[in-house]
Structure 1
Amino acid sequence: MSEKAIFFEDYQLDDSRETFGRTITESDIVMHAGQTGDFFPHHMDKEWCKDQPFKKRIAHGTLIFSIGIGLTANEINPEAFSKGYDQLRFIKPVYIGDTIRSVITIADKSDYKRPELGQVTEHVEVYNQKDDIVLACDHLLLVNRKNTN
């Protein structure tokens, strides 16, 4: 994990980076169900799923969001903080044994109401091992400017 000061002016549109992968386990799903209270059969009941369109248990969308975003934390910028996420979409199911990775692309930069800050939008796409996009969202960052005079 690296910590590097990146100011608003340093962000370049279309710059991107990719994370390492992480395999989703049955333990991940069970723990997430316990933490969230989401014990729907889509995630927990192997036999019930056999008669459903996906045919096997699927990971919680919120689990994939959490892990996919967590993977992006290999770079910490002390000059920025998260404002939140927009346009979150669960695109394809993720199954036990799938390996996901995240690709982060600088999609937009704009002024912010406080002149010492700018807003940066990182478009995050989470892929499975088949290179299918399984989740997408926009991460909004507020970033310090180098010069606020």
Structure 2
Amino acid sequence: MIEEIYYEDYQLNHERKTLGRTITESDIVLHAGQTGDFFPHHMDAEWCKTQPFEQRIAHGTLTFAVGVGMTATLINPVAMTYGYDRLRFPNPVHINDTISVTVTITEKKDHPRRPEYGFVTERLEVTKQDGSTVMVVDHILLANKREVK
């Protein structure tokens, strides 16, 4: 779906939620192959049994990629990603955990040098089926303004 959402259209504290997605062993193996991260935390089930977390954990970068991807449901030609801040993984994601994302608009501010743009910050909170938070990150959008003052 394509929709133009300008800086002025974003409302502080507006929230949207995604559906769930289950992280599989195949996801972890494919991600390891794509990134070269074959650490035993992700790949060695027997070694993980000797660790406090007792089972393989998904890569943080996998959780990030899937979580962010789950929020990409709209093509907005008047806004784009400027970057991400304050990325945290407070709890692990394991094989067969189902994650979902809540996106909340937390900040809006004018671009300091380009009055035709503003910054919009979306907080992405990824949780799993037990309600625990597994990732939090601030996604910063550069959004066109409808009206330049």
Q: Report the TM-score, using the length of structure 2 for normalisation.
A: 0.97
Q: CA–CA distance in 2 between the matches of 1:68 and 1:131? A: 15
Residues 1:141 and 2:141 are matched in the alignment: yes
The residue that corresponds to 2:114 in the other structure is 114
Q: 1:75: Cα distance to partner?
A: 2.2
Deviation string 1:60-119 (CA, Å, 9 cap, x unpaired) is 000000000000001222110000100000110000000001110000000002110000
Q: 1:148: Cα distance to partner?
A: 2.0
Residues 1:71 and 2:45 are matched in the alignment: no
The residue that corresponds to 1:24 in the other structure is 23
Residues 1:84 and 2:98 are matched in the alignment: no
Question: Structure 1 stretches of 5 or more lacking a match?
Answer: none
The residue that corresponds to 1:124 in the other structure is 124
Residues 1:44 and 2:43 are matched in the alignment: yes
Aligned length: 148
Q: CA–CA distance in 2 between the matches of 1:97 and 1:119? A: 36
Q: CA–CA distance in 1 between the matches of 2:27 and 2:99? A: 13
SS at the partner of 2:72? helix
Q: CA–CA distance in 1 between the matches of 2:46 and 2:21? A: 26
The farther-off stretch of 73-82 and 94-103 is 73-82
Q: Report the TM-score, using the length of structure 1 for normalisation.
A: 0.97
SS at the partner of 2:92? coil
Residue type of the alignment partner of 1:126 = V
